[in-house]
Amino acid sequence: MKLKNIGLVLCCLLAVSAMAQEKEGARKKQRKNNVVQEASVDTVAMDMEGVEQMELMESPGQLEDSPAILVKVSNKYNLSDRNDTAKYDKLWLKELYENQSLFDSIYSTVTNLEVDSLYHYDLDTETLKARLKILDQKTPFNIAYNPSLENVIKTFLTRKRGLMQRMLKVSQFYFPMFEQELDSYNVPLELKYLAIIESALNPRARSRVGATGLWQFMYSTGKMYDLDVSSYVDERSDPIASTKAAAKYLSKLHGIFNDWDLALAAYNSGPGNVNKAIRRSGGYTNYWNIRRNLPRETAGYVPAFLAAMYIFEYAEEHGLQRERIERPIFDTDTVHVKNLITFNQISELVDVSIEELQILNPSYKLDVIPYVEGKNYVLRLPREAMGKFVANETAIYAHVKTELETEEKPLPDLVKAQDRIVYKVRSGDYLGRIAERHGVGVSQIRQWNGLRGNTVRIGQRLTIYAKNPVASNVSRTSSSSSNNATKSAIASDTKIHTVKSGDSLWTISKKYPGISIENLREWNGIRGNDIKIGAKLKLCSC
């Protein structure tokens, strides 16, 4: 009986197991069918649908870039970007433009700063000490209270208060750019305040000795750090290129002195003067201990820098307002130019004023962006104008090329930096004569040297990018070198000129390339300008 019951149970279990296996098999079969169905949809049907969609989207004709036809309507071209954008804030443009006149003020202040003079201003000394201590903890500079520093801070808060207020506003355009470049070279971001002391944030500032740009580079120092200088371009005035160079130079100076205060002093007066001051002080390496042995300008340089840093950090405490600007630097953009183009053409095509182009592109001295193989020259524009330029680039360059080919007055040839000379003004010189002698324009000499008028003084040194380097070299070399240059410029059978009616030293010098009025005077013993008809003038020092 028991065996029958066991057998019955086993039969039931086998039947249940068989039914379960059958159901599982059905489920697996269903899943397999589903996978096959899904796979067929993914790989075949959907691919074919994509192909059909692509065929429907295909253009019936050949796709082209923006049409290379520019239509002029009411003295403006019809270039437009894809989106409507806000107009440039003209008040901000005016702020930047007017700021260029502040360089003379800051330059005079720093060079003639009386750091030991007393100025009355409601600033508690103990409060100032506490604030300077906080600043010292935040920066790598040696910021400690000093009566001279207090006097400089009070000077800026009284006599130069308006200038500091303007700097607070204009700095919002330049400081983000400075910080980015300074950070990439791992130098203190506080060095951005140095540009205030150097140039009052004027990229075209030029000192009486020829230092140029936001960071006031001399020609030779700028060349050390690959800043391009030619008749068209001066990268000492380019905000980004010059900031990179300044960061490199300051980093190198810090490597020499291992002290940021001394690095600043060396940046202003040169490492040699700082070394002399250290020796004369008996070996001190603290700026305040060697200050009396530094040149007058440098004696006020570091205190002015520290004072500017203090005022920017505690502007609100002294009633200075941080008015927000409408367009910081990141509301502009750059593009590499692919052909020579003038500011006049850019202004006309993308509806940006020439004044705005000059402010955004200060390194182009003649309002022309050249194209030179192997060099990258960039154009900076407001973002809304950049959209117009890029969207119509092909048409723009075609238009510019056509316009330049039909221009009656050709653009000046590009003169490279190696053709640069420094001319010392002599008695009887005037800009017209100097320009004529070197084959350049009076306006160019004014631009290259930051001259506001036509007045020059005897002994003044002028930077000139001569188109006739041979003639320029002859006019400023000794008699022996003049002879060599003249021999190469004058044919061997032309040694004497017989003076005719209407001749003058100037007209004679123009007839023979490479000869100046000074050469004729020297070679023929002439003191003034009088020459007699029939006189025979030597055309060399032979």
> What is the spatial distance between Cα 452 and Cα 298, in angstroms, rounded to a whole number?
27
> C-alpha dihedral over 322, 325, 329, 335, to 10 degrees?
-170
Each residue's pLDDT tens digit, 109-158: 666 666 555 555 678 899 999 999 999 999 999 898 988 899 899 989 98
Average pLDDT, the chain: 75
> What is the spatial distance between Cα 184 and Cα 243, in angstroms, rounded to a whole number?
11
165 or 493: which leads in pLDDT? 165
As a whole number of Å, the CA-based R_g of the chain is 37
Which sign, positive or negative, has the C-alpha torsion 476, 477, 482, 488? negative
Q: What is the mean pLDDT of residues 39-53?
A: 43
pLDDT at 94: 53
Each residue's pLDDT tens digit, 455-498: 888 888 888 876 544 344 444 443 344 444 444 444 434 478 88
Q: Which bin fits 433, alpha (ψ -120 to 50), beta or left (φ > 0)?
A: alpha
Q: Answer yes or no: is pLDDT of 183 > 60.
A: yes
Q: Answer yes or no: is pLDDT of 446 > 60.
A: yes
The highest-confidence range among 16-20, 108-112, 408-412, by mean pLDDT, is 108-112
pLDDT at 182: 95
Q: What is the mean pLDDT of residues 223-240?
A: 90
Q: Answer yes or no: is pLDDT of 89 > 60.
A: no
pLDDT at 504: 82
Q: What is the mean pLDDT of residues 5-14?
A: 51
- Return the H-helix or E-strand segment holding 310: helix 301-313
Q: Answer yes or no: is pLDDT of 180 > 70.
A: yes
Among 59-73, 164-178, 511-525, which is the least confidently predicted range? 59-73
DSSP state, residue 476: T
pLDDT at 384: 82
CA atoms within 13 A on the CB side of 177: 23
